[in-house]
Amino acid sequence: GKDAVKTAGIIPARYGSTRLPGKPLLEIQGRPMVWWVCERARRARRLDEVWVATDDRRIEEACRGLQIPVVMTGREHRTAAERLQEAAEQVRADFYVQINGDEPLIDPANIDAAVPDEVPLDVEFGTNIIARVKDPAQLLHASNIKVVFDDSFRALYMSRTPVPYPFCDVSFSYYKHVGIIGYNRKMLDFYKSSDPGRLESIEGIDTLRFLDYGKELRLIPVERADSLSVDTEADLRWVRERMSEKRL
């Protein structure tokens, strides 16, 4: 049951962002952005602990100063799953949820949604949060990853193209992948020991590795996934204004 399963939230915080260097340490309301993400993650009821995984001593120091549990991971640019696996080598748990380090307004309920009631431990298993695409323009953006699933929300395919194709019917909803992912240990260990798969290599979507090899990936729809990733100075200003109004 759930009691026996230990879940850890991992927040990757890289120093080298091309547009906003030192992004996790950017100040919002007198505290670094990574602290706000941690605070939101700690409100998630289904996480037993929350850790920051960083590649930079400055971020590590800031976390220690704020009493945030932190682990160091390698600097070379890696995929989300690989970074999670590296953090999992140091943080012992059964199930790991990766939380974007640049979303200070992330919804704790969406983090909880990534942790199912029953986490299988004996087979490779993962979850990805998905949301309905409300704006048709988003469909055409290759950066929005569209997902196809069966009746039990098991992932069948993911693509940068709008799939499925509306040949016989147009009255359906498209869904896109949202950046909260959960994997059990077995899934992460499989990822580390496997080579990139065929579809993964074609689409450039690292999550496709799991489907290439027939692993179970469960997609979990959430209602609201409009949390903003802070990528530019304008995003940062917007978040600062929002948070000073709200006094979150």
Neighbours of 123 (CB within 10 A): 11
* Overall pTM surpassing 0.85 (yes/no): yes
How far apart are alpha carbons 179 and 148 in whole angstroms? 16
Please give the backbone phi and psi of residue 209, each rounded to the nearest 5 degrees, phi first: -55, -40
Average pLDDT over residues 40-64: 96
SS3 112: helix
Please give the backbone phi and psi of residue 187, each rounded to the nearest 5 degrees, phi first: -65, -40
Q: What pLDDT is attached to residue 20?
A: 87
- What kind and span of H or E run contains 159? strand 155-159
Task: pLDDT band for 1, please (50, 70, 90 cuts).
Answer: very low
Average pLDDT over residues 126-136: 93
Which DSSP category does 23 fall into? G
Q: Nearest-5° angle of CA 174, CA 109, CA 234?
A: 70
Q: What pLDDT is attached to residue 77?
A: 64
Higher pLDDT: 245 or 241? It is: 241
